[in-house]
Structure formats: C-alpha cells, structure tokens
Structure 1
Amino acid sequence: MKMSEGVEWTAHACVLLAALPQGTGLPAAALAEFHTLAPAYMAKHMQALARAGVVESVRGAGGGYRLARPAAEISLWDIVEAIEGSAPAFRCTEIRKDGPCAAPAGSFHRPCEIHSAFSRAETAWRAELKAVTLSDIAAMVASKMTAQRRADMAAWLAGKLG
C-alpha cells in the first residue's frame, strides 16, 4: 500500500504539536519550516486534519494549529483517515465473472479468496495504526532525543511561540 507524503508530513507535524505547551499552537508555515516542507502543501493537509477533528485552528496570540484532543486519544489511523480517507485499499472488481473461462453467475462464493486475504490484511493494518497514538510516538521520539536536540527544539519553539 502506498500513502501520500501528506500522511508522513502531518504525522510529524502532529507529533510536534503534541510537544507544545497547553493552549498554544503553531501556524502551518512554522510546521512546514520545522521539517523543511512546502508551506502551502502543509497548510492544505493541516486543514484536512482540522476538518477531521484531529487538530483545531486557533486565531490570535498563541494561535495556529494545535491538537484538538489529547495526544493519547489521537491514533495514527486518525491521521491516515483524515488525509487518505477511509476507503479500502483493495477494491475487488470481481473479475472472476469475466473472460473465456468465467463461471456462471451463481457458481462462486463472495468474497473470493483473494478479496478475503486482502481484507484480513487491511483489518490488521488498520488495527495496528489505531493502537498507536501520538502520545506513544512522542514518547519514543523524546526517549531518543539528545540533550542538544532537545535544547535546539526548545529554542526554536520559544522563537515561534514567543
């Protein structure tokens, strides 16, 4: 399965938002700057996250985007669904009914074995993404961060939130 870059970009942006002090936000341009991404493209995807209720947009001092609910309540699936939608990755077109050796209409079972296998795999994939929260990811990132990286990040954020 291939996902758009928007999923990666917004997942990273949401982990950064999880590190913000309560009640503050970052503009989409700052989120894009932090990861050296295209600001317009980041803004478009942040708007999709806002429509899905993953983030909220706040005007004024301390405004910008912030998480709409606690990081422990936002899963990676929430981000994927906001950016990519919830349609299944595998779309069965029931090609068994066509071709020179096609079986009569009522002679095969639905779903076919191939459709069933892909459905099981997608169910497992979605369950795994639903089980991982932004809080989980943020904790893993923080545990691997050096003191210098932590200081650099704090200084950068102070300049943006200041």
Structure 2
Amino acid sequence: MKYTKATDYALHIMAYFVKQDGKENFSLQPLASHMNISPTYLSKILTQLVKADLIQSSSGVNGGYSLRKVKTDISFYDVIQAIEGSGALFTCEMDEKRSCPIEDVMRSAERLMVNDLKNKFIFNII
C-alpha cells in the first residue's frame, strides 16, 4: 500500500508543529520555505488539516497556522485520515454472491493497522 505525498508532507508538518510546542503561529510562506514545499501545495494540505480540526488558521498581522488539538493527542491516524479520508484500502471487485474471504482477510489486516496508527502519537517520535 502507498500513501500519497500529501500524507507524507502532512505528517512532517504536524511533527514540526508539535516539535515547536504548538504555541507559535506559522505563516504560509516561511513554512513552505522551511518544509521545501510549494506554497500552493502546502496551502491545500493545511486546509485539509484545518478541516480535520488538527490545526487552526488565523488572519491578520500575527496570523498563521497553529495547533488546535492538544499536541499529545495527535495520532498518526488522525493525520492520515485528514488527508486520505476514511475509505477502505481494499475492496473486492469480484462478483461474488457471498462474502469474499479475501476481502475479509484484507479488512481484518486494515483494522489492525488502523488500531496501531490510532495508538501511535506524533508527540512520541519527537
């Protein structure tokens, strides 16, 4: 399985916010420069993180982006779900009249992975 580049960036962005103790407002341009991401692409990622209530944005002279959620409560799953959504990773495409045993195995593995990611916190890797 492969996550998008946006998920990679979002995880690194959230790690950076957490590392800065979550008290600072980060402006788009300096953050894009620091993360080496185009401001346009970064803006799209930040918008998704705002919609997921992981960060907040404020306008004005001292505006920017900052953590909304408590830094010790941000899991890898929270960030991944904000970017990738919550759809299943595997869906059986075969026209079977009964439950697909292959899909059952894949869904079981996905549940294990999701539970593991829910219990891994960005704060713990900093």
CA shift, 1:57, in A, is 0.6
Q: Which has the larger radius of gyration?
A: 1
Equivalent residue runs for 1:125-136 within 5 Å: 125-136=113-124
Paired with 1:60 and 1:24, the residues of 2 have a C-alpha distance of 14
Calculate the TM-score normalised by the size of structure 1.
Answer: 0.71
SS where residue 43 of structure 2 aligns?
helix
Specify the alignment match of 2:36 in structure 1.
36
93, 103, 115: which one aligns with 1:115: 103
Instruction: Give the 3 Å change call, closer, same or farther, for CA 82–71 of structure 1 in structure 2.
Output: same
SS where residue 82 of structure 1 aligns?
helix
Amino acid of the structure 1 residue aligned with 2:45: H
Specify the alignment match of 2:79 in structure 1.
79
Higher relative contact order (CA 8 A, sep 6+): 2
Equivalent residue runs for 1:135-146 within 5 Å: 135-138=123-126
Q: How many residues align?
A: 126
The CA RMSD measured in Å over matched residues stands at 1.6
Specify the alignment match of 1:160 in structure 2.
none
Q: How much identity, in percent, do the aligned residues show?
A: 26
Specify the alignment match of 2:15 in structure 1.
15
Calculate the TM-score normalised by the size of structure 2.
Answer: 0.90
Structure 2, unaligned stretches of length 5 or more?
none
SS where residue 2 of structure 1 aligns?
coil
Structure 1, unaligned stretches of length 5 or more?
98-104, 139-162
Q: Deviations over 1:86-142 (max 9, x none)?
A: 00110123x143xxxxxxx4xxx41x210011001111111111111121122xxxx
Paired with 2:56 and 2:9, the residues of 1 have a C-alpha distance of 17
Instruction: Give the 3 Å change call, closer, same or farther, for CA 137–62 of structure 1 in structure 2.
Output: farther
Paired with 1:46 and 1:134, the residues of 2 have a C-alpha distance of 17
In the TM superposition, structure 1's runs of 4+ consecutive aligned residues that sit over 4 Å from their partners are none
